[in-house]
Amino acid sequence: MKNIAVYLGSAPGCNEIYKGLAYELGFRLAKAGLTLVYGGAAVGTMGALADGAQDAGGRVIGVFPRGFRGTKEVRESGIPVVREGLSEFIETADFAERKQVMEDRSDACIVMPGSFGTMDELFTYACNRAIDKHSKPILIFNFEGYYDPLKQLLANMQQAGFMKPVMAGAIRFFDTIEEIIAALH
């Protein structure tokens, strides 16, 4: 296990704790000698994640879709969206290619709180595992029960016979960053 994809929001969330947790995860991954593979943004929890990894001296690979300028609010604020000074920056044609590059460049993924983009990335990673494109671990940071509804949805899918038990077990939920780091080793 060397390269870890982290999927999370580009927004900061409504509570500063999310940015703090992202920073801590980035810092802890770097201190564990793991390379961060993330969406390449300088804003929100993505920016905090990269800050943490870089502050700990870690290697950070950013993967960003060409021409994307962020949400309307970010564009109007004039804040730069793309992170500068990364160990490696990969520009992709679009979001679909970005997901593929992040999956290809990672040995596992961690999912932190986020929204539609985060769910899209999670489900793409999980679908590819389900169809045997890879067998990489999927770790979800369930901070204060953020992903409890997803946990219930996965249980419903399995109970209704749409998800095999082996796949349900491939997506693991963790309450702390310490548990996530331990699971990666």
Q: pLDDT of 124-177, one tens digit each?
A: 999 999 999 999 999 999 999 999 999 999 999 999 999 887 777 789 999 999
Residue 146: CB atoms within 10 A of its CB come to: 17
Cα 84 to the chain's mean position, in Å?
19
Mean pLDDT of the chain: 91
Give me the pLDDT at residue 72, please: 64
Query: What DSSP designation does 145 have?
Result: G
Residue 118: CB atoms within 10 A of its CB come to: 19
Cα 148 to the chain's mean position, in Å?
17
Which domain does 19 fall in, by range? 3-184
Q: pLDDT of 37-70, one tens digit each?
A: 999 988 889 999 999 999 999 999 999 988 776 6
- CATH number, position 164: 3.40.50.450
pTM for this predicted structure: 0.92
What whole-number distance in Å separates Cα of residue 120 and Cα of residue 107?
Answer: 18
Domains of the chain: total = 1
What whole-number distance in Å separates Cα of residue 34 and Cα of residue 28?
Answer: 9
Residue 116: CB atoms within 10 A of its CB come to: 8
